[in-house]
Chain A
Amino acid sequence: MKVLVYSSFTFSYLNRARVLFKTLRRFHPDWELVALITDEPPAGFAFDPANEDFDRVVWARDLGIPDFKSWLFKHDVVEVCTAVKGPFIHQVCEAGQADIAMYLDPDTALLGSLQPLIEMLQQDDILLTPHLIAYNIDRLAILDNDLSASRTGIFNLGFVAIRTSGEGARFARWWNDRLLEFCYDDMPAGLFVDQRWCDHVPALFDKVKVVRDPGYNVASWNLSTRKVAIGKDGAITVNGAPLRFWHFTKLGPTGDVMTKRYAGDNYPVYEIWRWYKDEVGQVTDKAIPERYWAYGAYDDGTPIAKPHRVLYRERGDLRAAFPDPFSTQGGGFKAWLAAEGLMADG
């Protein structure tokens, strides 16, 4: 049974993705690992996929998305890295590249084998991990975690795994279609990139398995109801179940605050985070500027402000007038914004 795992990221997340792929390689040396990159390598950084732990790179620009530059410009970095997940998994299904396709966020890492998921996919076609598998009672935890999940989506789409046939393939086609048009961070409109869409999955598709095993997708948002333990046999468990993968969301002070709030004195959590930070540190290439993104600026280097992306996606006339909105040659979208007095507020 051929398994393909992919992760979607830009070069500023290459360090995290390297840790993910290294851990995937360690536990599953025979799985095909694919890096889906919506970016271009920064100047001064020699990117050689042959030296990476993934098997191949797929560039977002090669996914065949119509009017790619115009489509891309409508999204910020998080939105677009999420949006391309749909087209890629759909294409894997269409091309029959694998029996099972799995997505993992670049800031996840395996601490155990994912083989039980493959077994689950002998019965079911779609696996999703909820943000929460137990409700909170503490008021602050409800505000931070339960209500947050209500706003951003019941399932965390840092993980999804499907059979590439049957309901899995039907899901992939639907996800592709929706994400190409509606993958924005726009909560008032009922959108939080790809996640709110997947609230519909148990209703729209058969053979959906909600993975309620606490060893999967452990993250700051569910630590309030998960206790990590490390035994003298060397096993790491979460509420007694083997730890499989962790979601190291928000590496840095913000993530630390939420982790501490909910891990409290459950110190194995800090041991795991220490390890992760060290791993990421070891594979961080200083030639990649922090927060680098090739599509974050116009071609003259001016950073693109989010409101300009929103304006562009809302107005068909602008998209028709400026099919390559990044270009500043002979005017372009940027010059139009300036003429309209809209550049200053960026």
Chain B
Amino acid sequence: MAAGAASDSVYRLVATALDTRFYRAIYDDVAEGRVDPVRHYVDAGWREGRDPAPWFSTRAYQEDHPDTEGLNPFHHYLQQGWREGRQARGSDRRGLWLVAAARAAEPLDWDFEPPAPVRAAPAASSGTTPDETLGFRHDVIAGLRPLAERVAAAQARSTRVAAGGLAQLEAAMTQRRASDGALHISVSHDDFTAHVGGVQLCLQREAAALAAQRVDHLHLHPATPWPTLRTADQLAPVGVLWNGQVVGVFPADVIAQALARARHRVGGGRRSFALHSLLGHSVDEVLAVLAAADLRRGHFWLHDFTSLCAGVHLLRDDVADCGAPPLGSPACGICVYGPGRAAHVEAHARLFAALDLIVAAPSQAAFDTWRAATPAPVGQTHVIHPHARLVASGSLPQPAGDGPLTVAFLGAPVGYKGWPVFRALAAARAGDPRYRFVHLASTPVRDAPSNIAHHPVTVTAEAPQAMREALVELGVDVAILWSLCRETFSFTAHEAATAGVAVLTGPDSGNIAAFVADGRFGRALAGEGELVALFESGRACDLARSVRKPAAYDLVLGALTVDLLGAR
């Protein structure tokens, strides 16, 4: 079943390598239906696990490269996978194909070697292709995978992971920092030492503060990525970090057992927990683990809205802020995350009933969104604790003010962060001498409009200020932070402010819109139409550094739960 037509660019690239004779010979319905095999594969075939050529197995590529989840595997391979050295495996059906072709006495390439991938031909017509008039959201929707399919893929991934036993875990946990049994348990959606992102950065800060306080730290995360909470019958092992070191993966009951046995050997040190994200966890397992450690009172962080919906960013169909409407609303009825929402709400209701939780929100905006939609008790204890704050730090170099307005996009060019909006704005202003567009990120975008200049910036532990330094050096005036979803806390917006850059954002960007609400750090606009008009009229130039004369700030990062727990 087609889940939506793919874009012309996908079609053109796949057409360069799809073996139409193979596809027709192997799939009777394609031959009988007299459909275009390329169109069939890009619109439906890959989702159905069909293979486009004897040398390429769609399912094997998905299994070998789980980070490509949701993408057309063959298109991914042809576009970038082969350059990245990713391997393709042969189709399970190549034997059938050999037999069929031999019967038909057709000449064959018996090697099934992948041909050297070629770049897609440019569009036949100059100007815009028809699909561009549909907007980027059309393509996002066309690429959505049903939640059930993604959960099934996650389940399959997790069964390939071998779990360790009690002895291994207990041996690791004998390496203690705390002499008094002080322990902190944190739960999130991944191994924060191995992945990059806002929540991971927060957990790194929390972990470092725990180490400084000589508190033992047990971190739990799903061993493999999951798109939703797990239900009680979706078994999967849990990854364990002990004091920042990877221990392995274990069944949740083994972790609970280890904690229960350790309880009898500890003193009266502080014991705490923080739930950062329950994606990939089973609420029942988390409750069992906390009970084994004799923990009931702890912090529940609102880094995202996992507690309200399986669509944790409240981004309906990955294209628009939904506002967390009532469960069962028509919007939830059509949303790809709709089928997963009730389970998330119900599981968190049980969590809140079973534990004594303090809700920790990194921004008022995040709390307000959560409060309006959660079934948690009205009087639920909460605290607003931003991950970072700005501290005035003198002045910035002032530019002369006679150059074009420098307008930047910061970071990875992903849809929900607003790259398509920035891209469209730049394309619309091509040739306009009033503006200069720059993209600050580690890698350039291959098909970006020619008037977007890429400047390499890679933020690492060794160079945490790299983005700020680049913003100052390039004299960036404006950053377009057009997040489509409610940011609970935007490091990027704060970072832009430290460099004196004005932020332009959309109405649904949560903490970003709140951050600029008083006008000191930028402006929240009503919509994409107002953004376009602002640049068309030239009023955007009012945001030039030379006009605003911004102050400089330093960003002081917090240590999350440790800040809230206080000193030992």
Q: Report Cα–Cα, A138/B33, bound state, in Å.
A: 34
Verify A234–B329 contact, CB threshold 8 A: yes
- B contact residues around A273 at 8 Å (CB): 4
A-facing residues in B310-331 (Cβ within 8 Å): 316-317, 319-323, 325-326, 329-331
Instruction: Closest A residue to B48 by CB, please name it.
Output: A281
Is B67 close to A, CB under 8 A? no
In the bound assembly, the distance between CA atoms of A6 and B135 in angstroms comes to 38
B320 touches A230 (CB 8 A): yes
Over the window 248-259 of chain A, the binary record of Cβ atoms lying under 8 Å from chain B Cβ atoms (1 yes, 0 no) is 000011001000
Which residue of chain B lies nearest to A15 when distances are taken between CB atoms in the complex? B1
Contacts of A271 in B (CB 8 A): 141, 316-317, 319, 334-335
Q: A267 and B336: CB pair below 8 A?
A: no
Choice from A111, A112, A253, A280 contacting B1 with Cβ under 8 Å: A280
A127 at the interface (CB under 8 A from B): no
B332 close to A264 (CB less than 8 A)? no
Report how far A277 CA is from B141 CA in the complex, Å.
12
CB of B137 within 8 A of CB of A290, answer: no
Give A285 to B134 CA distance when docked, in angstroms.
32
Whole-angstrom CA separation of A47 from B37 in the bound complex: 32
Who on chain A is nearest to B320 by CB? A230
The yes or no answer to A218 lying at the interface (CB within 8 A) is no
A280–B325 Cα gap in the complex (Å)?
A: 25
Determine whether the beta carbon of A278 is less than 8 Å from that of B335.
Answer: no
Query: Would you give the 0/1 interface string for A207-250, flagging 1 where the beta carbon is closer than 8 Å to chain B?
Result: 00000000000000000000000111111100000010000000
Q: Dominant SS at the B interface?
A: mixed
Question: A270 in the interface, Cβ–Cβ < 8 Å?
Answer: yes
Residues of A within 8 A of B142 (CB): 270, 274
A252 / chain B contacts, CB cutoff of 8 Å: 2
Kindly list chain B residues whose C-beta atoms are within 8 Å of the C-beta of A270.
4, 134, 137-138, 141-142
Interface bin, chain A: 20 to 34
Task: State how many angstroms separate the Cβ of B25 from the closest Cβ of chain A.
Answer: 19
B329 contacts A233, CB within 8 Å? yes
Q: Which one of A243, A270, A275 has the greatest number of beta carbons of chain B within 10 Å?
A: A270
Most buried by B among A230, A235, A280, A281: A230
Inter-chain contacts of A236 with B (CB < 8 A): 330-331, 334
Whether B331 and A235, one on each chain, are in contact in the complex, defined by CB atoms closer than 8 angstroms, is yes
Q: Is the CB of A290 within 8 A of B29?
A: yes
User: Who on chain A is nearest to B336 by CB?
Assistant: A274
**What are the residues of chain B within 8 A of A274 when measuring CB–CB?**
3-4, 141-142, 144, 317, 334, 336
- Residues on A with C-beta less than 8 A from B134 are 260, 263-265, 267, 270
A267/B141 in contact, CB under 8 A:
yes
CA of A116 to CA of B3, assembled, Å? 32
B130 at the interface (CB under 8 A from A): yes
- Chain B contacts for A264, CB-based, 8 A: 133-135
B3-21 vs A, Cβ < 8 Å mask (1 yes, 0 no): 1110000000000000000
Q: What is the bound-complex CA distance between A280 and B323, given in angstroms?
A: 27
Q: Does B39 contact A (CB under 8 A)?
A: yes
Interface residue A284 (Cβ < 8 Å from any Cβ of B): yes
Q: Mark B123-165, 1 if CB is under 8 A from A, else 0.
A: 0000000110111011001101010000000000000000000
Q: How far is the CA of A184 from the CA of B91 in the complex (A)?
A: 48
Query: Please, how many angstroms separate the alpha-carbon atoms of A112 and B5 in the complex?
Result: 27
CB-CB under 8 A for A112 and B141, given A230-B320, A290-B33: no
* B333 CB-CB contact with A under 8 Å: yes
The docked-state distance in angstroms from the alpha carbon of A264 to that of B130 is 9
- Nearest neighbor of B35 in chain A, beta-carbon distance: A253
Residues of B within 8 A of A263 (CB): 134
| Residue pair A230, B141 in contact (C-beta under 8 Å) | no
| CB-nearest residue of chain A to B338 | A275
Q: Report chain B residues within 8 Å CB of A267.
A: 134-135, 137-138, 141, 319-320
* Complexed CA–CA distance, A270 and B144 (Å): 11
When C-beta atoms are compared, the residue in chain A nearest to B29 turns out to be A290
Q: Is A335 an interface residue (CB 8 A)?
A: no
The minimal Cβ–Cβ distance linking B447 to chain A, given in whole angstroms, is 20
| Bound CA–CA A252/B1 (angstroms) | 9
Give chain A nearest CB distance to B562 CB in angstroms: 36
Which of A231, A265, A272, A284 contacts B334 (CB under 8 A)? A272
Mark interface residues in B317-361 (1 if CB within 8 Å of A CB, else 0): 101111101100111111110000000000000000000000000
Alpha-carbon separation in the docked complex, A3 to B47 (Å): 40
Q: Which residues of A contact B39 (CB under 8 A)?
A: 253
Q: Check A230–B316 contact: CB distance below 8 A.
A: yes
Chain B residues near A260 (CB-CB < 8 A): 5, 130-131, 134, 138
Identify which of A111, A265, A277 contacts B137 (C-beta below 8 A).
A265
Q: How far is the CB of B297 from chain A (nearest CB, A)?
A: 34
Contact with A along B26-47 (1 / 0, CB 8 A): 0001000100000100010000
Interface positions, chain A 99-131, Cβ under 8 Å from B, are: 111-112
* Given known A-B contacts A274-B141, A277-B3, A277-B4, A265 and B135 have beta carbons under 8 A apart: yes
A233 in contact with B133 (CB, 8 Å):
no
Chain A proximity of B172: nearest CB distance (Å) = 44
**Given the complex, which residues of B lie within 8 Å of A235, measured CB to CB?**
325, 329-331
Kindly list chain A residues whose C-beta atoms are within 8 Å of the C-beta of B141: 267, 270-271, 274
Distance in Å from the Cβ of A18 to the closest Cβ of chain B? 13
Contact between chains at A234 and B330 (CB < 8 Å)? yes
* Set of chain B residues within 8 Å of A230, measured between Cβ atoms: 316, 320, 322, 330-331
Contacts of A272 in B (CB 8 A): 334
Contact status A277-B334, CB under 8 Å: no
Using a CB-CB cutoff of 8 Å, which residues 537-555 of chain B contact chain A? none
| Nearest neighbor of B330 in chain A, beta-carbon distance | A236
CA distance A231 to B317 in the complex (A): 14
- B137: chain A residues within 8 A (beta carbon): 265, 267, 270
- Among A271, A273, A277: residue with most chain B CB under 10 A: A271
The answer to whether A234 and B332 have CB atoms under 8 Å apart is yes
Q: Which residues of A contact B331 (CB under 8 A)?
A: 230-231, 234-236
The residues of B that contact A280 with a CB separation of less than 8 Å are 1
- Specify which of A111, A232, A243, A273 lies most central, judged by the most chain B CB atoms within 10 Å of its CB: A232
For B29, list chain A residues within 8 Å (CB).
Answer: 290
Q: A338 vs B331: C-alpha distance in the bound complex, in angstroms?
A: 57
**Docked CA distance A112–B336 (Å):** 18
Within the assembled complex, what's the spacing in Å between the Cα atoms of A231 and B508?
13
Which of chain A's residues has its CB closest to B143's CB?
A274
Tell me which of B2, B133, B333 contacts A111 (CB under 8 A).
B333
Q: A111-B334, A235-B330 are in contact. Are A277 and B138 (CB under 8 A)?
A: no
B332 to chain A, nearest CB (A): 6
| C-alpha spacing A275/B141, complex, angstroms | 10
Please give, as numbers and ranges, the residues of chain A lying within 8 Å of B322 by CB-CB distance.
230, 232, 234
- Once the chains bind, are B2 and A277 in contact (CB under 8 Å)? yes
**Which residue in chain B gives the minimum CB-CB distance to A23?**
B333
Residue contact B2 to A112, C-beta cutoff 8 Å: no
A123 to B43, CA, bound (A): 47
Shortest Cβ distance from A236 into B: residue: B330
- How far is the CB of B100 from the nearest CB of chain A, in Å? 21
Complex formed: what's the CA distance from A301 to B351 in Å? 61
A92 to chain B, nearest CB (A): 30
Cβ contact within 8 Å between B323 and A232: yes
Residue contact A243 to B330, C-beta cutoff 8 Å: yes
Which chain A residues numbered 32 to 87 have a C-beta less than 8 Å away from chain B? none
Point out the residues of chain A lying under 8 angstroms from B146, CB to CB. Answer: 278, 281
Residues from chain A with Cβ under 8 Å of B3 in the complex: 274, 277-278, 281
Q: Give min CB distance, A248 to chain B, whole Å.
A: 12
B131, B135, B138, B322: residue with the most chain A Cβ atoms closer than 10 Å? B138
Beyond known contacts A234-B326, A234-B329, A264-B133: 5 more, CB 8 A cutoff = A271-B141, A277-B2, A278-B3, A281-B1, A281-B3
- A-B CB contact pairs (8 Å), 12 listed: A230-B322, A232-B322, A233-B326, A233-B329, A235-B331, A236-B330, A243-B330, A264-B135, A271-B317, A273-B4, A275-B335, A280-B1
Binding site for B on A (CB under 8 A): 111-112, 230-236, 243, 252-253, 256, 260, 263-265, 267, 270-275, 277-278, 280-281, 284, 290
4 closest cross-chain pairs (CB), A and B: A234-B329, A234-B325, A232-B323, A281-B1
